[in-house]
Amino acid sequence: MITHKFEDHDQWMEYRRGKITGSRLSDVVSTKETVKKIGFYELIAERIGIPGDGEDPMDRGHRLEEDAIERFTESTGKVVDNSLIVWESSDNSSMAVSPDGIIGETEAVEVKCLSSARHIEAFMGAGVPKDFKYQVLQYFIVNEKLETLYLCFYDPRLKVKDFFFKTIDRSHLAGEIEEIKKYEQDMLSEVDGIVDSMMKF
């Protein structure tokens, strides 16, 4: 065993980056061999990125959204309209989505500026990350003309793979779109019924 002593807390913290420490082990060990826990991705992020600055994730996402869309345009040549808009379903005005960017009516862009670990997890995973499954489905539920959604991930703190996107086509989600749309409509109908009955009292 080698002992390292530090006089400065920041140096101590920096030395721990990218290492499995006692407090981190539970975030790394998985009883399912095929499933990696978030600690696995944190180790990678700490080795290829710079430390986070404690900025609120939502504020950070808003701040970086425009840069991410510019990176998407550079990568694809597609011109994106990132005006503040809301798409509302023609079937039910209570079903809506706010695209980060649109390319006509048939393509849209959704931007995610996550923690570095979550960014790498999304990069290494296949398909749509489970945290965003329903948000992705809502795009297609609300806009019947939407054919393609580009799910963009951007984290400029990373030295490599700071930007990438996943292309999601309607045809790959057809069954799920109809299933969740019906669930949503049934739930909203139930909500309307409860509100109506409560308003009578």
pLDDT single digits (tens) 127-179: 888 888 999 999 999 899 999 999 999 999 998 899 999 999 999 998 899 99
In the predicted model, is pLDDT for residue 1 greater than 50? no
Most confident of 10-19, 20-29, 58-67, 122-131: 122-131
Q: What is the pLDDT of residue 146?
A: 95
- pLDDT greater at residue 138 or residue 51: 138
The string over 161-175, giving b where at least 16 C-beta atoms fall within 10 Å of a residue's C-beta and e elsewhere, is ebbbbbebebeebee
Interval 83-105 mean pLDDT:
88
**Residue 33, domain member (yes or no):** no
**Residue 36, domain member (yes or no):** no
How many whole angstroms separate alpha carbon 78 and alpha carbon 102?
10
Please tell me the least confidently modeled range out of 33-47, 59-73, 166-180.
Answer: 33-47
How many whole angstroms separate alpha carbon 57 and alpha carbon 39?
19
**Residue 194, domain member (yes or no):** yes
Positive or negative: CA dihedral 95, 98, 104, 109: negative
In the predicted model, is pLDDT for residue 47 greater than 70? yes
Q: What is the pLDDT of residue 22?
A: 45
CB atoms within 10 A of CB 82: 17
Joined tokens for residue 106 = 């048939």
Please name the residue that has the structure tokens 């006089």: 7
- pLDDT greater at residue 194 or residue 66: 66
**Residue 148, domain member (yes or no):** yes
Residue 63, domain extent: 52-199
**Residue 4, domain member (yes or no):** no
Interval 7-12 mean pLDDT:
78
Torsion of CA 183, 187, 193, 198, to 10 degrees: 170
**Residue 66, domain member (yes or no):** yes
Q: What is the pLDDT of residue 129?
A: 87
CATH of the domain at 139: 3.90.320.10
**Residue 26, domain member (yes or no):** no
**Residue 5, domain member (yes or no):** no
In the predicted model, is pLDDT for residue 85 greater than 70? yes
Most confident of 44-53, 88-97, 153-162: 153-162
Alpha-carbon 130 to chain mean position: 9
Joined tokens for residue 158 = 């990373």
- pLDDT greater at residue 119 or residue 60: 119
In three-state secondary structure terms, 149 is strand
- Indicate the number of domains in the chain: 1
Q: What is the pLDDT of residue 171?
A: 94
Q: What is the pTM of this model?
A: 0.79
Alpha-carbon 9 to chain mean position: 33
